[in-house]
Every structure is written in C-alpha cells, then in structure tokens.
Amino acid sequence: MEVHHHPKVEKKEFKEYFLEFLMIFLAVTLGFFAESLREHLVNHEKERNYMESMIEDLKRDTAEATHVIAVQSLIFKKMDSALKIPVESLTDINVQDTFYHHFVYFYSWIDGFTPHDNTITQLKNAAGFNVIQKKMIIDSINELYIFWEGPFKGNRDIYMGRWQKLDEFAMQMIILPEPPNNDEDPVYTTYPLHKELFTRYDRPLLQQLYSFIRMEQSDIEVNTYDEAQYRDRAARLIKLIQKEYNLRDD
C-alpha cells in the first residue's frame, strides 16, 4: 500500500504577517486620504463658484435698489406737488390739469425692489451651505436675506397694496386714461388740456383721496429706507466675500 504524504506547509513569520497587514492598512489609508482630498478640492471649487455667483446677484441687487430708490423719490416729489394743491381749487379745470400732471406719475407708475435670489435658492435647496467653510460668510448671507424676508418684504407688500387701493379709489371720481408705458410717454406732458377730469366734487371724497396719497407717501419713505439699508448691507457683503475668497472686483 502506497502512503501519500501531505506537503509540508511553511509557516510565515510574524514579521511577514505584520508587513502584509501594514501594506493593506497603508493602501486603505492612502485611498481614504486621496478620496478626502478629492472631495475637499471639489467642495472648495463649488464654494468659490457659489461665492462668485453670490457676488453677481448682489451687484445686480445694489444696482436695482439704486434705480428703484430714484424712481420712488420722483414719485414722492410728484405726490408732494399734488398735495400742495388745495382741495377746494380742484373745481378749476386749469388746476385739474396741473393736479393730473402730478397725479399720473403715482397713479400709473410703481416700482418695488425684489432681490436676485438664484444663488441663495441653490444654497438652500442643494445643501450648498455645507460646502461653505467660513461661518462669518454664512452668517452675513443669512442676515441679509432674513432682513429681506422680514420687515423689508412686508413693507414693500403694504406699499403695493396701498397703491392698488389708491387707484381703485381714484377711479370713483377721476377719468383716467390707459397708464403710460414709460416716463417719456406723451401722456405725461400732453394729456389732458383744459378738460374736466373729475366726475365728482364731493369734498369728503377728495379729502380722502389726499389722505390716500399721504399714506402712500409714508409707504414710499419706509420702502426707500429699507432699500437703502439692503443696498448698503449687500455692498458690505460683496466686499467681505471678495476679501475672504481673494476675488477681484471686475
């Protein structure tokens, strides 16, 4: 009978096991660090892109706020001129012409500020705030948009609602044409001419019309203050982002 002998298995020394373990450990560790580095670089690029986009939104906001303030300041002056005309003199057609040339601006023309929120929407919806490493930047962005979502937006909505009510009330006693398309529309300088505008000369109603105008004036004052505040905060945030991310002002 033939006897089969099992081959002799040579045992590894502890040092060999340790070296194999060390090589596997190093490979896993280096892979982890490589992936972490890659993720860090990707997030850093995303963060910078978000900040560049945020600056563009804020620049548009500051320009828009400046424009809106200018428009509302003109409307405010036209209201002031209309209110200086005594109610009792509105029965005079020539005075009506003067009143209307002031009134038509704030009857037909309203301008309100709305921020450009593309970047902040992305930051909120795509968890973009997670890639922003600078807490002061996150806090400053949030503070600006909390200001907008809070008192600023509420005051703007009040102003726009009051403007609508003023128009509806004025329609009860004034013959109004189609609203002009822009400030160069001939209706501002050529309409009307010695035509009776008022269909009613009820003194209490006329006094109430003046009250509406005064209230809308107050709304404009509040809105221009908010717009200036937002514009200044946005300008400061632009400078902060540029400084923290070493971004040039193109």
Segments in 126-202 forming alpha helices (H): 135-147, 153-170, 187-190
State the residue for tokens 């060999």: 16
From CA 101, how far away is CA 192, in angstroms rounded?
8
Residue 173 half-sphere exposure toward CB, CA atoms < 13 A: 18
State the residue for tokens 């970047």: 119
From CA 63, how far away is CA 122, in angstroms rounded?
22
pLDDT 10s per residue in the chain (250 long)?
A: 455 555 554 555 656 655 666 667 666 665 665 556 555 545 668 888 889 999 999 999 999 999 999 999 999 999 999 999 999 999 998 898 889 888 888 887 788 899 998 998 888 886 777 888 889 999 999 999 999 998 899 999 999 999 988 888 888 888 766 655 655 665 555 556 777 888 888 899 999 999 999 999 999 999 999 999 999 999 999 999 999 998 876 6
From CA 167, how far away is CA 78, in angstroms rounded?
15
Instruction: Give the SS3 label for residue 10.
Output: coil
Residue 175, pLDDT score: 79
Residue 2, pLDDT score: 52
